[in-house]
Homo-oligomer: A and B are copies of this chain.
Amino acid sequence: MEFTAQQIAMFLRGEVIGDPNVKVSDLAKIEEGQKGRLSFLSNPKYTDYLYTTESSVVLIDQSIELDPERSYTATLVKVADARAAMGMLLNMVQDALNPRKKGIEQPSFIAEGVQVPADAYVGAFAYIAKGVEIGEGTQIYPQVYLGDNVKVGKNCLIYAGVKIYHDCVIGDNCILHAGCVIGADGFGFAPVDGKLQKISQIGNVVLEGDNEIGANTTIDRATMGHTVIGRGTKMDNMVQIGHNVVTGQNNIFCAQVGVAGTTKIGDWNIFAGQVGVAGQLSIGSQNTFGAQSGIPGNIKDGQILMGTPVIPAKDWARQAVYLKRLPDMQNDIKELKKSINK
């Protein structure tokens, strides 16, 4: 794999500044640049590296201002959004490095009557139960478990060891990372005669499509009805989604977030790492929840929140400052009391 700056610019619809014929065959971070490599510069904070990098080509955000006094050796490819452009390039490289797999490896277990499309892949030790449907172009890696009647859409990537319980539905273009568990029982018990009696969980999980689900993430099936992950919503590793949660589109759940049962979530929210959301809530859209925050009540739209319980992030930052002043405040009060009682 070797490309010229010119080829890359054409692919990304960018503008070449410098030698269009210089070639690159690998990628590197700009601060670790080497001859023959491609780097990118999207964050102005790192602009200094441009003048020292040894990378041959640098993909650069057109908004970045360069210092006309300083020189650099790389050929630049200017694009509107260098980060997104880099993503497209990475996708191209990824596809070249990991070509789509096809065919059925042995030994695998495919129940009678299940149709595997000709361009799909089923790895060794995968278990495909009765009634399962698999879409075109879908790749099912080794040691995956698809329970009875699971439906997997087109062009999905189900990595090694994913477990999907019976009756769950995975939409098109989903990526499920190793070890994630879709459709285990929701957590419901009722105390009866001095014991905790299990409440059976007869619903399912529906991923609407274009979802990425991180390694070892767990999404529980609904008690009745559906747990729904809206189209385009992405989850990092070890996220926990309780039974009957319904999310809208394009939410981002960072690692180790937990959402308790029956909570409804709008679109385009960002939940930073280790956030906890209580059950039976209604969360609006376009909110950002800071890392480790805890959400005990309903939330409207468009807020930046932080803390347990969450408050506006600005107030939370001020609180941290005031907390440090508490000893002084108490001292002041003591002094005031003294002056008055004199």
List chain A positions with a Cβ less than 8 A from chain B: 27-29, 32, 81, 83-84, 86-88, 90-91, 93-94, 97-98, 105, 107, 109, 123-125, 127, 141-143, 145, 147-148, 159-161, 163, 165-166, 175, 177-179, 181, 184-185, 187-190, 192, 195-202, 210, 212, 214-216, 218, 220, 223-225, 232, 234, 236-238, 240, 242, 250, 252, 254-256, 258, 260, 273-274, 276, 278, 291-292, 294, 296, 308-309, 311, 315, 318-320, 322-327, 329-330, 332-333, 336-337, 339-340
Contact = CB atoms under 8 A, between A and B. Distances in A.
Contact of A273 (B195, B260, B325): B260
Leading 10 A-B pairs by shortest Cβ distance: A90-B200, A94-B200, A145-B160, A163-B178, A184-B215, A322-B326, A181-B215, A87-B199, A127-B142, A187-B236
Contact of A199 (B90, B148, B216, B276): B90
23 contacts: A29-B225, A88-B197, A90-B224, A98-B166, A109-B125, A125-B143, A127-B160, A143-B143, A143-B145, A181-B237, A216-B216, A237-B240, A260-B273, A260-B291, A273-B276, A276-B291, A278-B291, A291-B294, A292-B308, A318-B327, A319-B324, A322-B330, A325-B330
Nearest to A147: B160
B166 A177 contact: no
Contacts of A105: 109
Contacts of A192: 81, 84, 87
Nearest to A203: B27
Contacts of A147: 160
Nearest to A322: B326
Contacts of A318: 327
Copies of the chain in the assembly: 3
A332 B332 contact: no
B184 A161 contact: no
Nearest to A335: B337
Contacts of A320: 309
Contact of A159 (B184, B216, B223): B184
A159 B163 contact: yes
A292 B276 contact: yes
Nearest to A311: B324
A123 to B, nearest CB: 7
Contacts of A165: 159, 178
Contact of A240 (B142, B220, B255): B255
A154 to B, nearest CB: 17
Contact of A127 (B98, B143, B215): B143
A117 B284 CA distance: 52
A255 B125 CA distance: 30
A258 B143 CA distance: 27
A150 B144 CA distance: 20
Contact of A142 (B86, B145, B189, B218): B145
A336 B330 contact: no
Given A179-B163, A252-B196, A218 B214 contact: yes
A238 B83 CA distance: 30
